[in-house]
Amino acid sequence: MEKKKFNILIAPNSFKECADSVEISEYLKTSLFRLLPAEIRDQINFDLKPISDGGDGFLQVCHRIFGLEFLHFDVSYPHSEEKFFCPVAYSESTKTLYVESADILGVKLIPSEFRNPMELSSKGLGELLIHVVESIETEILAVDKFVIGIGGTGTNDLGLGMLQTIGWKFLDENDEEINPIPANFYKIKSFEGEKIETPFKIELIVDVDNPLIGEQGASKVFSLQKGASPDEAEEMDQAFQEVLSVLGVSEKKMDLLNGAGGGLTAAFELFFDVNVKYASEFIVDELKIHDTTNNDYDLVITGEGTFDSMSLMNKGAMLVVNEFAEKNIPIYLVCGQTDGDLPPIEILHVIEVAEYFNSVEESIEKIDKGIEQACKRIAKEVIKLFASKKSGK
C-alpha cells in the first residue's frame, strides 16, 4: 500500500529589496528538506506556489507560473533622465505582455539620497507604453493584453508623469508647460489631454485595496514608506484633490479611486480603458493557491519582508493566511520583521528572521541564513505533525 504523502504548501510573497518570492520559496524548501530526517523526506510533498500581490516579484512569479520569455526595453529612472533596461515578460501563445511597476518605478531603483516622492516621476511607465505600441506597429510583437502588476513603487505622482510622456500637457497660470512632479502640483491650473486608446486590453493587478485620498490614502499611508515626511504626505494628499479638480474629476468620483502605486491605478481608471483585478483574485484565480492534487495540505508556509498593518489590507501573505486559517491548517508566516499587532489566529505561527541577527540590514544581507534558522523551528513542527498523521491521530 502506497504511503500517504505529507503535503506542505510553500507560498511566500517577496521580501522587498531582499529576495523575490520565487527565491524565498526555494530557500524554504531547500532548508526544510535538509533539516528533516531521511526517513521523512521521501514522504514529504513540497508544493511551491510563490505568490505576488502585484508588487515586487510579480514578474518572476508570472514567468514561473505561465512559462514566459523575458524581453527588455529602455526607460528612464524615476529620479533622472538616465536610461536603463526594464524587463517585461511575454507569452507568444496568448499574446500577453506582463510588466511589474516596481521594475520601472520601484524604490529598489532609486538611490537613498533621491528617495523623496515629491521629486519623482512615473515617466518611465509612459515610455514603456510607447515602446510596446511601436513594437506592435512594426510587427515585432503581437500584443492583445497588457498586464501590469501595480505595487512597490517609489513614486507618488498620480501617474501624471506617465500621462505627460504619452502626450498630455500640464500648464500653469501662464499656460506654460510644467513638469508634473508632486512638488509642482500646486502650479497646475489647466491641462491638454484626453482619454487614451491602446491597441491592447490593459489589466491591472493591484497590491492593496485602499483609497486614493484621505487618512488611508496613497499619500498619507504609503508615501511615508517612500521617503516623504508627514508634512509632505499631507501636502501631496491635498494636492491630489486639487489636481483632480483641475482634471474635471468630481469629489464623488475621487472617493472611489484606488490609491495603489502612488496613484497610478487611479490614472489608469480615469484615462484608460482598464480592468482592475485585486491581488485576492489574482492569487486565488490565476496562481490557484488553493488547488492541490495531493489531497489537503498538512502545513502551510507563507511570508513577506515586513508584516504590518498594511499587510492586513488584503496583501499577499495575509491572503494565504485567510485562505487556510478557516480550514484549521497550521500556518507558519516567515517575515523579516513585524510591526504592530498580529492577527489573533491561534494556528498562525509568526517567525521574525531579524531576531537571528544584530540588525535588520544584516538580516537582509544574510536572508538565506535567516530562512534556515526559521526552518529549524518549522522542521520540529513537521516532525510532530508527521508522526501524528502516521499514527492516525
Q: For 262-291, how does the pLDDT look when each residue is reduced to its tens digit (9 = 90+)?
A: 999 999 999 999 999 887 777 777 777 666
- Classify the phi-psi angles of 27: left when phi > 0, otherwise alpha if psi is within -120 to 50, otherwise beta: alpha
For 193-229, the pLDDT digits (tens) are 999 999 999 999 987 778 999 999 999 999 998 999 9
How far apart (Å, rounded) are the C-alpha atoms in residues 135 and 237?
A: 37
Percent of the chain at pLDDT above 70?
Answer: 94
The DSSP letter of residue 187 is G
Q: What is the pLDDT of residue 203?
A: 96
Q: What is the pLDDT of residue 275?
A: 95
- Classify the phi-psi angles of 247: left when phi > 0, otherwise alpha if psi is within -120 to 50, otherwise beta: alpha
Percent of the chain at pLDDT above 90?
Answer: 68
pTM attached to this predicted model: 0.82
Q: What is the pLDDT of residue 371?
A: 94
**Is residue 335 within a helix (H) or strand (E), and if so which, with residue range?**
strand 331-338
pLDDT for residue 2 is more than 70: no
Distances (CA, A) of 320 to 9, 343, 350: 10, 13, 13
pLDDT for residue 35 is more than 70: yes
For 354-385, the pLDDT digits (tens) are 899 998 889 888 999 999 999 999 999 999 99
Distances (CA, A) of 219 to 14, 158, 273, 309: 23, 10, 25, 16
For residue 294, name the pLDDT band (cuts at 50, 70, 90).
very low
What's the mean pLDDT in 44-57?
86
Instruction: Give the mean pLDDT of the chain.
Output: 90
The three cell numbers locating residue 344: 489573533
How far apart (Å, rounded) are the C-alpha atoms in residues 218 and 260?
A: 7
Q: What is the pLDDT of residue 392?
A: 67
For 310-322, the pLDDT digits (tens) are 666 666 788 888 8
pLDDT for residue 114 is more than 90: yes
| Residue bearing the bigger pLDDT, 118 or 49 | 118
B/e letters for 3-12, b = 16+ CB within 10 Å, e = fewer, are eeebbbbbbb
Residue whose cell numbers read 495603489 = 260
| Residue bearing the bigger pLDDT, 235 or 338 | 235
Q: Which of 98-102, 144-148, 294-298 has the lowest mean pLDDT?
A: 294-298
Sketch the domain layout of the chain as residue ranges.
6-51+297-391, 58-280
What residues are paired with 83 via a beta bridge? 76
Asked if the domains 6-51+297-391 and 58-280 are classified in one and the same CATH topology, the answer is no
Distance in Å from the first CA to the final CA of the chain: 19
Q: What is the pLDDT of residue 94?
A: 96
Name the fold adopted by 6-51+297-391. Rossmann fold (3.40.50)
Q: What is the pLDDT of residue 3?
A: 57
| Residue bearing the bigger pLDDT, 339 or 224 | 224
CATH class of 58-280: alpha beta
Q: What is the pLDDT of residue 1?
A: 39
pLDDT for residue 259 is more than 60: yes
SS3 state of residue 242: helix
How far apart (Å, rounded) are the C-alpha atoms in residues 81 and 75?
A: 9
